[in-house]
């Protein structure tokens, strides 16, 4: 079996208030994702006196961060993302990878919302509770 790395092809979000939009990730740009779910604390002293492990488990939200092409048309992407961030209702997000894998989750944009006029790009980060589902 081969391992396939590479580009995200599309990021799609659907909002009850603002409708749907598809963002186009930049080719060759590194991105990150955390599928979310349960994590164990990494404590070197997480043991009892006789060496029995103490596992501290915590929920971690999912997140995806990717540099995308920036539309500066009448419906500017950064304004759309800012509107989504202000919503109190989570949106439906899907992330399509070049390998054919598609992940989905409910969440919202997080972090800074800044466009780069010169490069026509912006960094999109979305996050949500639970885990990303592979669909």
In a domain, 47, yes or no: no
Per-residue pLDDT tens digits for 20-77: 999 999 999 989 999 999 999 988 888 999 999 999 999 999 999 999 999 877 568 8
Strand 102-109 vs strand 121-128: parallel, antiparallel, or unpaired? Answer: antiparallel
Give this prediction's pTM.
Answer: 0.90
Residue 42 lies in a domain: no
Instruction: For residue 122, give its domain range.
Output: 8-36+58-134
Domain-embedded: residue 44: no
E-strand stretches of the chain: 8-15, 19-23, 32-34, 37-40, 57-60, 62-69, 91-97, 102-109, 115-116, 121-128, 133-134
**How many folded domains does the chain comprise?**
1
Kindly report, residue by residue over 102-118, the tens digit of the pLDDT.
999 999 999 999 999 89
Residue 101 within a domain: yes
- Of 102, 97, 123, 132, the closest CA to residue 6 belongs to 97
Query: What pLDDT is attached to residue 74?
Result: 59
Tokens describing residue 101:
């894998």
> Whose structure tokens read 């989905």?
104
Q: Is residue 51 part of a domain?
A: no
């Amino acid at each position: 079996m081969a391992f396939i790395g590479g580009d995200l092809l599309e990021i799609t979000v659907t909002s009850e208030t603002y409708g749907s939009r598809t963002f186009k990730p930049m080719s060759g740009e590194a991105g990150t994702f955390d599928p979310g779910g349960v994590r164990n604390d990494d404590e070197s002293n997480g043991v009892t006196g006789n060496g029995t492990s103490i596992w501290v488990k915590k929920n971690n939200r999912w997140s995806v961060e990717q540099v995308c092409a920036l539309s500066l048309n009448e419906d500017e992407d950064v304004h759309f993302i800012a509107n989504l961030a202000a919503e109190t209702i989570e949106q439906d997000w899907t992330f399509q990878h070049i390998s054919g894998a598609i992940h989905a989750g409910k969440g919202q944009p997080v972090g800074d919302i800044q466009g780069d006029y010169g490069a026509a790009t912006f960094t999109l980060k979305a996050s949500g509770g639970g885990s990303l589902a592979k669909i």
